[in-house]
Structures are given as structure tokens and as C-alpha cells.
Amino acid sequence: MNRRVRPRQKDDTTPATPRPGIAERLASWRDLHLYSLFSSLGRLAQRPWASLLTIGVMAIALALPLGLLLTLGNVGRLAGDLESSRQLGLFLEREVDADAAAALAKRIKARDDVAAVSIRTPDEGLAEFREMTDFAGALLVLDGNPLPTVLNIEPAEATDPQLLASALEQLPETDFVQYDAAWRERLLAWLDFGRRFAQVIALLLGLGALLVVGNTVRLDIHSRADEISIVQLLGATDGFVRRPFLYLGLWYGLAAGLLALLLVEICVWVISGPLASLTESYGSQFRADSLGFGGSLAVLGLSALLGWLGAWLAAGHHLRATGD
């Protein structure tokens, strides 16, 4: 007799595949990022001339405002310490002798709106004039010392030098008070204008650098459109597709930042010699400063951010267009 064979029932107690733990997921995340990091670097090496062209355009766009800001900083130092320009020169009457000048200096120094007072005697002033070759011949015809005693007064930090100058002019020993307020205000205004102008230029050229990276990454995405479509059909997420292009933009930004720093350093080196000769002719010593370690890191970070942002915009636009 034939026996009817019943189909075997599926065992519902079969254990499901366990989900990977945190360590496995972190290792997978690390491997994916490392692969994207080095594969994007390989994409740069495959097209050296096109990559150098993009990096060069970005580097010039970054170097121009960077050099302008660095120049403004050096001009500010060359003009002198702005705190020293706050000093007042109190010229005393010729009848005021050394003891009266010392007593007046002590009395002025005791004021709350004065930080420091120094005395320049007539003999010290005459010695300074003798060091100036243009005045050496004129001093030979003088019978005596016509220079008065001068008190160099440094206002306190929170003090308005103009108000202090007005108060010192009322002293009976005062001949006149010298304070180049107009020169200092003009200098501050020009430096402030220069910084604002450099910031506007940096914003515009930074936007240009961002667009350059975005367009370059867009062309790279367009050349790999079929490959991207295939991996999307296989279930790749937007993050997986976007990640290599983000690292590509990051490499562009870092390389452009390094090249921009090199260009700025070369410019500083080229002008340092003529600038030192120029300042020495005026009896001063000056050396142009570079960005330093902290400033260089900030430039690299900003340039990398611009490259990453440009790539993110280009990749996001492509993903939105293909997802519709």
C-alpha cells in the first residue's frame, strides 16, 4: 500500500542571523571611510593635470585675501604700536626748572587717568637732535639750548586721550600739549577699511573656490553616472554614494590650502629684503611676519571645509535629481 508522504513543516524555531555588534559596525564604518579616503586620492592621481588646474585656481583664490590680510597686519606693525600713539607730549614753559618739572610729573602720575609719565630734559632733546644729521649744522650756530622740558604721558587704558589733553592744557606750567589724535584716527580708519575690504574679497573668492570644487566634482559624478546608478540599484544608500566625492573635495581643499600657504610664504620672502632696506633707510628695523603655525592650521581647515562643502553640494544635487 502506498504511503502518502507529508511535506516537512518549516521549523519556526530556526534562530535568525544575529545582528552585528557595535564593534563590527564600527569596523565596517572605518573600512568604508578608509576605502573612500584612499580611492578618492587615487582619482586625483589618475588625472594629474586636471587636478593641478583645479587646485591652482583654488589656491590663488585663497592666497589673494590671505596675502592682503597679512599685509594689513604688517602695515599695522610698521606704523608702530597704536598704544604708543596714544601718548601725549606735554611741553612746559621755559621758566620751569628740573625740580618743578619733576614735581609736576609726580603730581600728574598720581591721576587716575594717567598710566605713566616720563621726563625728557632739554639736554636729552638736544642730544636727539644732534643724532639727526640734517640738524647737526644748524645746532652749531645756537648760543644756548632752546628746547623745553617735555613730559611724555601715557593715558590709562580706559581714558580718552583727547579729554586728558584738554585737562593738561589748563595747567599753568603748560606751554602746549601735543597729541596726534587726527593721525591716529585716520590710521585706525584706514586699517579698519582695509580689513573690511579684505573680508569682502575673502568671501567672494572663497565662494569662487567653492564653486570651482563643486563644478569639478559635478563633472566627476557625471562621468561615473552609470556606476552610481548600478550601486543604487543594488541598494547603496545616499551616504555610500556621496562619501567618495566628499573626500575628493576634501583633498582638493587641503591641497589648495597648502599651495596657497606656499605662495604667500614665497611672496613674504621676496619682499622681505627690499622692505628691510627701506625701513633701515628710515632708521628702523622691521621684518615681515608670516602666518605662523596656528594661522596655517586655520587656513588648511578653512580650505578643507570649502572643498568638502563644494563636493557636498554637487553630490547632493545629483542625488536629488536622480531620486525624483
pLDDT of amino acid 114? 85
Q: How far is CA 61 from the centre of its chain?
A: 15
In angstroms, the CA 218 to CA 315 distance is: 7
CA distances from 280 to 270, 284, 300 (A): 17, 5, 35
Query: Predicted confidence band at 92 (pLDDT cuts at 50, 70, 90)?
Result: confident
The pLDDT of residue 79 is above 70: no
Strands 150-155 and 88-92: antiparallel
State how far the Cα of 155 lies from the Cα of 152, in Å rounded to an integer: 10
Q: Going edge to edge, which strands form the sheet with 88-92?
A: 114-120, 150-155, 88-92, 174-178
- Report whether pLDDT(317) > 70: yes
Residue 229 has a pLDDT of 81
Q: Say if residues 240 and 231 touch (Cβ distance below 8 Å).
A: yes
Residue 1: which pLDDT band, with cuts at 50, 70 and 90?
Answer: very low
Report d(CA 193, CA 14) in Å as an integer.
76
In the prediction, which pLDDT does 260 show? Answer: 92
Question: What is the spatial distance between Cα 166 and Cα 170, in angstroms, rounded to a whole number?
Answer: 7
Q: Is 309:248 a contact under the CB 8 Å cutoff? A: no
- Say if residue 274's pLDDT is above 60: yes
Nearest-Å Rg of the Cα atoms of the chain is 35
pLDDT digits (tens, 9 = 90+) for 162-198: 788 888 888 888 888 877 666 667 777 887 888 888 8
pLDDT per position as a tens digit, 241-266 = 788 888 888 899 999 999 999 998 88
| Cα end-to-end distance, the chain, whole Å | 64
In this predicted structure, the answer to whether residue 30 has a pLDDT above a threshold of 50 is yes
The CATH T-level fold of domain 94-172 is Alpha-Beta Plaits (3.30.70)
Are 61 and 209 spatial neighbours (Cβ–Cβ below 8 Å)?
A: yes
Please compute the mean of the pLDDT values over residues 202-214 and round it to a whole number.
88
pLDDT of residue 2: 47
Supply the DSSP string of 118-180, one letter for each residue.
EEE-HHHHHHHHHHSHHHHHHHTT-SS--PPPEEEEEE-TT--HHHHHHHHTTSTTEEEEE--
Is the overall model pTM greater than 0.85, yes or no? no
Residue 147 CB partners (closer than 8 Å, separation 6+): 122, 125, 126, 129
Q: How confident is the model at residue 141 (pLDDT cuts 50, 70, 90)?
A: low
DSSP E strands in 170-249: the ranges are 174-178
Contact 115, 157 (CB under 8 A): yes
Residue 5 has pLDDT above 50, yes or no: no
**Mean model confidence pLDDT for the chain:** 77
User: Residue 20: which pLDDT band, with cuts at 50, 70 and 90?
Assistant: low
Whether residue 150 is predicted with pLDDT greater than 80 in this model: the reply is: yes
Q: Has residue 295 got a pLDDT over 70?
A: yes
d(CA 37, CA 43): 10
For 21, the grid coordinates are 555588534
Q: Give mean pLDDT, residues 155-162.
A: 78
Gap between the Cα atoms of 296 and 262, Å rounded: 10
What residue segments make up the domains of the chain, in order of their start? 30-81+186-323, 94-172
- Per-residue pLDDT band for 234 (boundaries 50, 70, 90) equals confident
